[in-house]
Structure 1
């Protein structure tokens, strides 16, 4: 993506883990915009454009003081609202200059730091709360979190995560086997807040991950919310009452460069964090690397042959929705009429 959509992408994107931002300013990137995160002495966070308006020096090369974020060049200091609070060298009693640094909306949730993107060419919208599939996970159910960076398109990476049809060939034998497909019913629904696809009929999988770590399922669901356009969750519910929630957050840093944060929540099942890291994570990391390789190959080929339009069929329901949301195109009103389930061979 070389031109960022202006309206739909005024949503929340993950840019860092909470533990990364401590005593020093932390530089991040969101859609080509350099931003500095600073944890103030009060414990709260502020996010500013990563530049001092005095001489355009990066604020991320400064330090945090009681008065705010201090530029490392001449010492101009900026508070949580971006206004200059101190200019060293001014005579006693003189007020700091009436200048400031543009702020970016920031919040913390589930051990992650979220920024809300802004675009000068579109009206600023009131920030919406995070989607329910993110807000509803109790903190005590978090088992692990990982950070990666892919050299690919964030939208392609998001579609890859939500699309089950690639798993047979991209993760052969690990997630599914191509020779063991079975009929599964997919029921999609969406409204102005997001999308859910419910998969039924796939109670058991033929891949190694299922045999090692899972039990018979009740259903599988994929979730996406417009308020966090780069985030999606795959939910697995089991007959024994337990549930797993894999959530991935894809943040476009620049064109063809995507930051990925992955987390796993476990409910109603014995799965301490140490056991997940020791036994499950090596397999999950292999899956992530296979997906990364696929998305990066796709990105390189898109650049070779652009502009080309993707061919789609009725099986590409997730892609149709996501590309409509990200590129502000019309999305079919599925909820306006009875939802027609789609039969997939998974």
Structure 2
């Protein structure tokens, strides 16, 4: 029996998906640079199947994750010097999504192409553009993150997959009062001090900033393991929210040794990059890096910092996914707000307004 295949016309018609459930006309984190290697990397981002790969010249490319011949995911294929080869019949696609070779066939149909996503690799982060129109080009550059190139800092990172909406992770990162309850073994400390720490919340356009100081407090385990603190420290937490990511600068100095408001303050620093990219309405990717400033025993201290950070994020993931499972068990119940919810609520209003826009 002959099966007739319905072909689209010559105009490119990529899968639209339902990206409009999320803020558009902006860059999202697609991967950490170290994720994109010699094998294709497939992910669903904003409800759309995407495959990323790095060609021989070092460039990162992103295409819709399907072959235009028989629709096998191209993430099941292989990366070659000039492009990505389908693992079914060997069609080879370049970084623009155009088929440049069909084994055993000289003529390549004009329809042999797939959608190309605009990506840019910057500061060890791979950004992807999602426009309100499927073929729209970027209106600006990706957000810079110079900490990754700052000689004062060393960093590493990883990626988590969450079975929970990305805004629940926003809530978690914008409200660090939970540290005293969730992270007792790592970056926690006295829960009462965390809950009562003065909090400054400001908003500038699409960003929200939270500043908290916890003076004269005992150093938590992670801090003591990485830095020779005395019995009492002055801690700071500075969080900046953007719809695509958060930047969190935490750390401490010995109590009364210097001002925690001094931009050039010393002590122990943890500077975190937190890229939150929706997979679907109910799941997301959490791309994180942690930078620190060890003055000696760099490898040993950074190993401790990264291990402690992973352990901390494991704790967060367990809490957030359990939270979402229970939210689905009580779909008709409403939550209440308390004093620590000011920043998360502002971030949610920003996201909501961007979606409506």
Question: Gaps spanning 5+ residues in structure 1: where?
Answer: 331-346
The residue correspondences of 1:61-72 to structure 2 (distance < 5 A) are 61-72=76-87
Q: Report the Cα offset of residue 43 of structure 1.
A: 1.5
Cα displacement (A) at 1:286: 2.9
SS at match of 1:52: coil
**5 Å matches for 1:86-235?**
86-91=101-106, 94-118=107-131, 124=136, 126-132=138-144, 134-138=145-149, 140=151, 141-172=153-184, 174=186, 175-180=188-193, 183-202=196-215, 204-205=217-218, 207-213=220-226, 215=229, 216-217=233-234, 219-226=236-243, 229-235=244-250
Distance 1:254 1:99 in 2: 28
In 2, Cα distance between equivalents of 1:268 and 1:256: 38
- Equivalent in 69, 86, 93 of residue 78 of structure 1: 93
Name the CA distance, whole Å, in 2 between partners of 1:117 and 1:205: 44
Partners of 2:209 and 2:193 in 1: CA distance: 26
Q: Work out the CA distance in 1 between the residues paired with 2:332 and 2:28.
A: 27
CA 46–286 in structure 1, closer or farther in 2 if over 3 Å, else same: closer
Deviations 1:124-165 (A, max 9, x none): 473443445x24542542332133323222111122122122
Q: Cα distance, 1:324 vs. partner?
A: 1.4
Count how many residue pairs are aligned between Structure 1 and Structure 2: 322
Distance in 2 of aligned mates of 1:210 and 1:281: 12
Contact 1:221–1:236 (Cα < 8 Å) also in 2: no
Match of 1:342 in 2: none
Distance in structure 2 (CA, Å) of the matches to 1:102 and 1:186: 46
User: Is 1:284 paired with 2:280?
Assistant: no
**Aligned pair in 2 of structure 1 residues 90, 213: CA closer, same or farther (>3 Å)?**
closer
TM-score by length of 2: 0.77
Pick from 294, 298, 301: which aligns with 2:326? 301
Q: Which of the residues 65, 75, 83 maps onto 1:50?
A: 65
Q: CA deviation at 1:298?
A: 0.7
Partner of 1:336: none
Cα distance in structure 1, aligned partners of 2:135 and 2:77: 32
Tell me the secondary structure at the aligned position of residue 325 of structure 1. Answer: helix
Cα pair distance change 1:39/1:293, threshold 3 Å:
same
Two-structure CA RMSD over aligned residues (Å): 3.1
Kept in 2: contact 1:249–1:261 (CA 8 A) = yes
Greater RCO, CA 8 A, separation 6+? 1
From 282, 288, 294, the equivalent of 1:262 is 288
Query: Structure 1-normalised TM-score?
Result: 0.79
